Copies of this chain bind each other. A is one copy, B any other.
Amino acid sequence: MFELDLRSRAPIYEQLVDKIKELIINNVLKPDEQLPTVRVLASELTINPNTIQKAYRELEYRGYVYSVPGKGNFVRATVPDNNAARLQTLEREVLKNVSEMLYLGMSPHDITTLIQRSLSEDKGGKVHD
């Protein structure tokens, strides 16, 4: 289900957070759907359960998941609320990346195409308040 790079500099739990966040954003994991249990995912990925736990806890802090002790971890139905700060970070990130793509020789036209494609491909699925 997930591909982890154990040799990467990025901590395992963060790679997990990233992957799962992506699945939620792209509506592959639906609202209130249960995530794999800590133990199951741990054995599937041959990773220590504590590491999975940490990833789930992190996702909870960031507002993508909620945990019901004794039941499991589930996808939160609502979008995180500290939008503003996060959006600003994302904007800065994108601008930096676009600069670098230009620098590396990618044409403005190709960049625009890239963005438009990603905008039309959006899988949506969440309702905003």
Contacts and interface: CB of A to CB of B under 8 A. Distances in A.
Interface of A: 6-9, 11, 21-22, 25-26, 61, 66-69, 74, 79-80, 82-83, 86-87, 90-91, 93-106, 108, 111-112, 114-116, 118-119, 122, 124, 126, 128
Contacts of A21: 100
Contact of A101 (B8, B82, B87, B97): B87
A97 B104 contact: no
How many copies altogether?
4
Contact of A122 (B26, B99, B119): B99
A115 B112 contact: yes
Contacts of A61: 61
A115 B99 contact: no
Given A106-B87, A108-B119, A112-B116, A94 B97 contact: yes
20 contacts: A7-B66, A11-B69, A26-B99, A82-B82, A83-B104, A87-B104, A87-B106, A90-B100, A93-B97, A94-B101, A94-B114, A94-B115, A94-B118, A98-B115, A98-B118, A102-B122, A102-B124, A103-B126, A111-B119, A112-B115
